[in-house]
């Protein structure tokens, strides 16, 4: 119930979940969970996009990068003190100080790959803690405009249950995302083989130089697939069959309900999503005030 309107801003994972729990979504999906239908909108929770990422890992001769080994942690005590007292030194590093935007093909008008260089053996947002105990560096390759589409589905009609998140990475039928990922891995390999790295490089730990064919590079990339926490698209703006909100972000067919968050982006931006989300919110705030 609302005097004026309801604004849903729970993000790309939970906005569609809340809509579905409230009876707005694909009617077959809602029926499965015994949820009374308010409005059949098949696009709720569909069209999920995220920046899929993989990496090249290189073992280093030098031991001046970052590692989570107990000995290195001890050695970093002076750095810790320096940072605490002066906010300077090794620990003032953002961990992502080098990056690049690349094109997978010269025909493109703008880059479709983003690189993040990390002075640490690091994959999938640091979930492999053992890996981080070694000495080395990594370069992450992110597909900026993926074609693959995933989904957010309900596990049950209990709002306390997490939804099912299926990113469906690298799954597009034409194989464009797979091609971009393979190309990115190959370009990074070349960068890592540059003479500037000679004094650091021992060998390519992952994928490993024995993996040369497209198939084996892709298989290896999949072993260390990660994401960049940029989910969008699950309540997309538009007027096609899967659109959930109109250009004022009002939910189609429901009075006085808007969704305002990253879920309304029909396609993923070619970079980080926080600023675009704020821009969307500012734009619609102006529309609401004008109303």
Ligand X SMILES: Cc1cc2nc3c(=O)[nH]c(=O)nc-3n(C[C@H](O)[C@H](O)[C@H](O)COP(=O)(O)OP(=O)(O)OC[C@H]3O[C@@H](n4cnc5c(N)ncnc54)[C@H](O)[C@@H]3O)c2cc1C
Binding of ligand X by 277 (CB under 6 A): yes
Is 230 annotated as catalytic?
Answer: yes
Binding of ligand X by 117 (CB under 6 A): no
Q: Which two tokens stand for residue 165?
A: 């998140």
Q: Which stretch binds ligand X (CB under 6 A): 42-50, 160-168, 198-206, 268-276?
A: 268-276
Contact 5, 285 (CB under 8 A): no
Question: Which one among 262, 265, 268, 284 touches ligand X, defined by CB under 6 A?
Answer: 262
Beta carbon of residue 27, minimum distance to ligand X (angstroms, whole number): 23
Q: What's the first-to-final CA gap in the chain, in angstroms?
A: 20
What are the angstrom distances between the C-alpha of 273 and each of 51, 216, 269?
10, 31, 7
Burial 47-80 (b: 16+ CB within 10 A, else e): bbbbbbbbbbbbbbeeeebbbbeeebeeebeebe
Q: Which stretch binds ligand X (CB under 6 A): 6-14, 60-68, 86-94, 164-172?
A: 6-14
Q: Which of 206, 230, 239, 252 is catalytic?
A: 230
Question: Which one among 41, 55, 273, 284 touches ligand X, defined by CB under 6 A?
Answer: 273
Q: How many residues bind ligand X (CB under 6 A)?
A: 15
Identify residues 13-32 at the interface with ligand X (CB under 6 A): 14, 18
Beta bridge partners of 165: 152
What does the alpha-carbon distance between residue 71 and residue 77 come to, in Å, rounded to a whole number?
10
**CA trace torsion 236, 240, 241, 246 (10° rounding):** 50
Binding of ligand X by 7 (CB under 6 A): no
Beta carbon of residue 111, minimum distance to ligand X (angstroms, whole number): 17
Count Cβ atoms within 10 A of the Cβ of residue 234 and give its class: 0-12 exposed, 13-18 middle, 19 or more buried: buried
What does the alpha-carbon distance between residue 231 and residue 222 come to, in Å, rounded to a whole number?
19
- Number of C-beta neighbours around residue 43 at 10 A: 21
Binding of ligand X by 118 (CB under 6 A): no
Beta carbon of residue 130, minimum distance to ligand X (angstroms, whole number): 22
Binding of ligand X by 227 (CB under 6 A): no
Binding of ligand X by 44 (CB under 6 A): no
Binding of ligand X by 9 (CB under 6 A): yes
Q: How many residues does the chain have?
A: 291
Question: Which one among 135, 201, 230, 250 touches ligand X, defined by CB under 6 A?
Answer: 230
Residues at the site binding ligand X, with contacts judged by CB under 6 A: 9-12, 14, 18, 229-230, 261-262, 272-275, 277
Point out the residues that are catalytic.
230
């Amino acid at each position: 119930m609302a005097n004026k309107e309801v604004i849903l801003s729970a993000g790309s994972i939970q906005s569609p979940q809340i809509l579905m729990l409230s009876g707005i979504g694909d009617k077959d999906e809602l029926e499965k969970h015994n949820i009374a239908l308010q409005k059949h909108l098949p696009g709720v929770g569909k069209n999920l996009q995220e920046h899929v990422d993989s990496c090249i890992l290189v073992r280093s001769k030098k031991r001046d990068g970052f590692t989570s080994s107990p000995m290195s942690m001890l050695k970093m005590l002076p750095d810790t003190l320096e940072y605490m007292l002066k906010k300077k030194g090794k620990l003032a590093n953002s961990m992502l100080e080098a990056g690049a935007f690349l094109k997978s093909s010269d025909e493109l008008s703008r880059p479709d790959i983003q690189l993040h260089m990390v002075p640490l053996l690091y994959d999938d947002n640091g979930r492999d803690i053992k890996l981080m105990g070694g000495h080395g560096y990594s370069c992450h390759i992110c597909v900026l405009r993926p074609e693959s589409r995933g989904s957010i589905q309900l596990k049950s009609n209990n709002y306390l249950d997490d939804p099912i998140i299926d990113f469906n990475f690298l799954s597009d039928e034409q194989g464009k995302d797979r091609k971009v990922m393979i190309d990115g891995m190959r370009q990074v390999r070349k960068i890592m083989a540059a003479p500037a790295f000679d004094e650091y490089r021992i060998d390519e730990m992952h994928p490993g130089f024995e993996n040369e064919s497209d198939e084996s590079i892709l298989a290896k990339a999949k072993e260390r697939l990660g994401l960049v926490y940029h989910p969008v698209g699950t309540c997309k703006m538009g007027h096609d069959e899967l659109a959930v909100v109109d250009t004022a972000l009002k939910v189609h067919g429901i009075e006085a309900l808007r969704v305002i968050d990253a879920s309304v982006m029909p396609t993923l931006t070619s970079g980080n999503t926080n600023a675009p989300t704020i821009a969307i919110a500012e734009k619609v705030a102006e529309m609401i005030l004008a109303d």
